[in-house]
Amino acid sequence: MTDLWEVFVRPRRGLAHTHVGSVHAPDAAMALRNARDVYTRRQEGVSIWVVPAHTITASSPDEKDAFFDPAADKIYRHPTFYPVPDDAEHL
């Protein structure tokens, strides 16, 4: 009956919604209200998203190495890898 919902709160206008936790609720309308009561009691947000937890596809911890390690030695993906010519303005 009661499903799990992931809760995302936007703390201020202009910022992105951030995952803050989860709530139990029988449907989306109640999930939104429960999220309001549990996660925005102290003026933490101006907007709330609730997402059914089962609809989220997550990367597997077992695949962590294959997923993330290859990025470790590719420093050229960082902008700081490239020297900036002295006469390049507006960077």
Partner 1 sequence: MSSTTDLIEAALRIGDDALVAGQRLAQWSARAPELEEDIALSNIALDQVGVARLLLTYAGEVEGAGRDEDAFAYRREPADFRNCLLVEQPNGDFGVTMAKLLFVSVYQHLLYQRLMDSADERLADVAAKARKESAYHEDHATQWTLRLGDGTAESHRRMQDAVTAIWPYTDELFARDDVSDRLAAAGVVPDPDSLRGPWSETVGDVLAVATLARPSVPAAPGGGRAGRHSAHLSTMLSEMQSLHRAHPGATW
Exactly one of 23, 45, 48, 50 binds partner 1 (CB under 8 A); that residue is: 23
The residue (of 30 and 53) whose beta carbon lies closer to partner 1 is: 30
Q: Is 51 in the site for partner 1 (CB under 8 A)?
A: no
**Which residues is 16 bridged to in the sheet?**
none
The residue (of 42 and 77) whose beta carbon lies closer to partner 1 is: 42
Q: By CB neighbour count within 10 A (0-12 exposed, 13-18 middle, 19+ buried), where does 11 fall?
A: middle
Q: Is 2 in the site for partner 1 (CB under 8 A)?
A: yes
Report the C-alpha gap between 86 and 46 in whole angstroms. 44
* Number of other CB atoms surrounding residue 9 within 10 Å: 20
The residue (of 27 and 67) whose beta carbon lies closer to partner 1 is: 27
Exactly one of 13, 41, 74, 90 binds partner 1 (CB under 8 A); that residue is: 41
Exactly one of 3, 10, 17, 38 binds partner 1 (CB under 8 A); that residue is: 38
Residue 70: strand, helix, or coil: helix
